[in-house]
Structure 1
Amino acid sequence: MSPQITPIADSTQDLERTERLLAPDGTRLAHPDLDPFVADVDASQLRALLRDMVILRRIDAEGVALQRQGQLGLWAPCQGQEATQIGTARALAPQDYVFPSYRETGVIYARGAQPGDFVRMWRGEEGAGHDPAALRVAPLQIIIGAQTLHAVGYALGIRHDGADEVAVTYFGDGATSQGDVNEAMIFAASYQAPVVFVCQNNHWAISEPVAVQSQYPIAGRAPGFGIPSLRVDGNDVLACMAAMRWALAHARSGKGPAYIEAVTYRMGPHTTADDPTRYRDEAELEEWRRRDPIARLDAHLRSIGELDEAHLAEIQSAADVVAKDMRAACLGMVTRAPLAVFDGVYAEPHAGLDRQRDEYAAYLASFESEA
């Protein structure tokens, strides 16, 4: 029998509070509701979570560097959000299906993404960034909040088929103001779809602070749709894992959707096209640096004598290898010819498409004549 937890829908707890298992200084905190969901997590597994987060941060830094060097058109950093992404993703079952936004680099990493998968889409190459069937992760979604509708539709199919799966969708605090997210929650609640909504509240929807668009903690919205929710410390990887295990158990048992608000912080820009110094106070950034998710787990493992220099050296080496392979995959990609965009659109010859091909060819040729 699964452990029980009191969701916000059934509680009068202070919504301003975030549930946690690790304090910012790494101290392990007792939590009668969350503890049962991570009772099996030992020191070895905690080191694995630390390894994941360090590798993710290295991937993220490499993505930013590649974009600055002109190898990628754009990159959406996730520095500071490693605990939310790794903690929740490592709780998933292999058969579960994920519907991400564009910032879930850590989720696709945890689902088995290969080095080239991290950059292919941002480089503008053919196909999705990764193989959705292999990872059981839908293509990264650029349209804000649209993936929540896709997740609920998939979850309705799960319910129809009686499959042992859960659909999981990730989105940011800004997306909660979109109609798509609210409509998805209506359908999920109405039809008791097995879907988990994960809101990564990183405090900034581009330049809009969460306090402006949400006068009440975001986790408090879900109960209005009849969906139980939890508000957890998104910089606490253990709490994020526990929350996701609760949510998955709830959805998988036929009780319908569940909602997690993970309170974290975007340390970098919204994308590499953004300058956060124009709207964000440096003092706020410094405050969140003291809550760093990697430093928190590092401190905890050191305090219990389960992390030494040999462990750290292995982790750093692994991160460097992933970054090296990612860069090599990016630089080794061969961009197909521009006119190939018309290939495979129709199975049979099509006069309209031939005309468009000719027009595009003339357009490209115009640049050659100007050179």
Structure 2
Amino acid sequence: MVVRTTSLNSIKNLLPKIHQPLPISRRDSQQLLESITTSFRRNLDEEHPWEHGNEPVSQNSIPQSRKPTASTFINSNSSSPSPASTDISNRQRPTDRHLRAILSNPLFAHQNNKKSPAARRSQLDVFDHAVARGLMTPRRAAGFLAKVRSEIVGESEDDIRLGMADSGAGLRVVQWLRASGLENNLQFLSDPVLFPALIPFMYAEGLEEVAWHWMARIGTRDEADEIKDAQFAVLSSLLYAIMKQTNTSYSGLKTSLDPSYEAVIRANDILPKKNVTLKSLKDIWVDLSWASTVFASERPKPSAHLFESFVKIGRPLKMRLDLAHLELHHPLTPNHFAAVQFMHRNANSTDLRPIIRKRLLCLAMDTADRLKEVGDTEEVSWVERFLTRLGYDLNTCIGIFNALEGSLIASELPIRRM
């Protein structure tokens, strides 16, 4: 007797097709997605049982969250969420929360910003596409920000700031840094060119606290000797980017130095007192000192208490020339004593570096003006003879100073690098 067996083709026809032929219909695609989602939820629930009961909460009963803002992004790491958000989170299944976290990750996002102009939307799409394909780097992110900034125009300061805030470009880059893990290990700091492009967007979008958090982390890292120079370069780049944001408007106009003094005071408070951080802080202090004296006439007078706190930070640095010049420019009680004393001590110095001689020339001219105000004609005559001994053509030097103004903290090339 012959036993007939089912052919292989018959058995194959009884089994569902695992690999659907391409292209599949929209209905088949939806069914496949639902099947994968159901399987994923079931397995995740088995690994992480739901402790709040077995009755699932329907998605319709969960209020739809609003579009996240810059403030909600910063507060997302807070340890004390709002009662409303905690209640919603507690009523969701663990699978739902996990799925939402995955789908909200910018590495999987590729959506158009419908509120942005068409030209800017294309830049955001290019950024999202590069992120989704794993092609984004800190240098490319800096290029993306520069391109978005070049497309923002406005007749007023508020227009430019609003345009930068509406673009959401800064938040997009920060989210990418966080989602890709570059923020956790500070790998993005290896390319400090990102800071000058990113910090202005962060300030416009209300994300400046994130930048200060980065600064604190950079300052507290214990690096090996061979990479401390890189740490210094990164910290200096971040400090200069913040300082430029606090003393220069988006349209390029110079503003009050009060925010810059506040930034230096805050950096001094949060940075540890070690060689790398002290060197970075000293450089930024010296540059701000130059802006506070040589070009003081181009800015409004600062607040006295902030000015004094800034000077106090510089006293341990023993920058006698800077401190003497700053006393001449005290917003309430200018004093010429230290300036006159410094010039008498260095009257016969011939080995001063060119940048020191130029600063000394400015000090002498400001001192002469102050002495004329108080009526000290004898000391004025000595200061004028001191200026003559410097051997500079005043008109030529003044022209040099005007050309060097781009090297201050309001520029990307600080004066210390000349």
The TM-score range, normalised by the shorter chain, is under 0.3
Larger RCO: Structure 1 or Structure 2 (Cα < 8 Å, ≥ 6 residues apart)?
1
Q: Which has the higher helix share?
A: 2
Q: Which has the higher strand share?
A: 1
Q: Scaled by the length of structure 1, what TM-score is found?
A: 0.22
Q: Scaled by the length of structure 2, what TM-score is found?
A: 0.20
